[in-house]
Amino acid sequence: DIQMTQSPSSLSASVGDRVTIACRASQGISSWLAWYQQKPEKAPKSLIYAASILQSGVPSRFSGSGSGTDFTLTISSLQPEDFATYYCQQYHTYPRTFGQGTKVEIK
Amino acid sequence: EVQLVESGGGLVQPGGSLRLSCAASGFTFSSYWMSWVRQAPGKGLEWVANIKQDGSEKNYVDSVKGRFTISRDNAKNSLYLQLNSLRAEDTAVYFCARGGSEADYWGQGTLVTVSS
């Protein structure tokens, strides 16, 4: 199975900060990577697919980059509604696998 | 508006069975792969299974192979997950999601608790 490792596992940031979350795959996955946002007691929300393509309706302050094994999710200016847990997921190979999550908390 | 509504969760004893359902609306259900993803209490997301548009291809994570069965009824716009031989480690919220690769829409989930 492909292991997905996110870093950091948690971070504290202030409104307006630029935030970057890293995701590393244990083997190359081309650009077959998605990012999700999950708030407590809610379903995940799709943010990005194909490593860098924003889902419809997702604010442009979110961006994704990378290919192969190393990927990043960037929030250019953190907003109050962005405090949540973020997951990466590879869909290059079965089984689909997720990173362990990165919790973004208020500083 | 795309809607996915799961049902069928509950408390079940180890070794028991449960059938989860997901009612889809707001899109052409028969045109999409569909998936189940679960989340144990306080833990991360785990992909469980997916199924092709016509049901001809199904994929599972190893930990549920031989115990869980994914199926669909395109006439009823419904997705199912049959859970057999349940174990304590199957306790989780089970989400239905649209897509077989990335998942663009998710239901709110249904909680399955396996305990004696």
Q: Model confidence over A5-30: pLDDT tens digits?
A: 999 999 999 999 999 999 999 999 99
> What is the distance in angstroms between the Cα of B92 and the nearest Cα belonging to chain A?
12
Segments of A1-107 assigned E as strands: 4-7, 10-13, 19-25, 33-38, 45-49, 53-54, 62-67, 70-75, 85-90, 97-98, 102-106
A89 chain-B contacts, CB cut-off 8 A: 45, 47, 102
* Interface contact A95-B47, CB threshold 8 A: yes
pLDDT tens digits, one per residue of A58-75: 999 999 999 999 999 999
* Residue A79 to chain B, least CA–CA distance (Å): 22
Residues of A in contact with B3 (CB under 8 A): none
Cβ distance B47 to A97 less than 8 Å, yes or no, reads: yes
Chain A: give the shortest CA distance to residue B46, in Å: 7
Mean pLDDT, rounded, for B60-89: 98
Q: CA nearest B96: which of B26, B24, B41, B15? A: B24
pLDDT digits (tens, 9 = 90+) for B2-59: 999 999 999 999 999 999 999 999 999 999 999 999 999 999 999 999 999 999 999 9
Query: Ramachandran region of residue A51, left (φ > 0), alpha (ψ -120 to 50) or beta?
Result: left
Tell me, what's the pLDDT at A106?
87
| pLDDT reported for residue B99 | 95
User: Which residues on chain B are in Cβ contact (under 8 Å) with A100?
Assistant: 44
Residues of A whose CB is below 8 A from B108: 42-43
Q: What pLDDT score does A107 carry?
A: 86
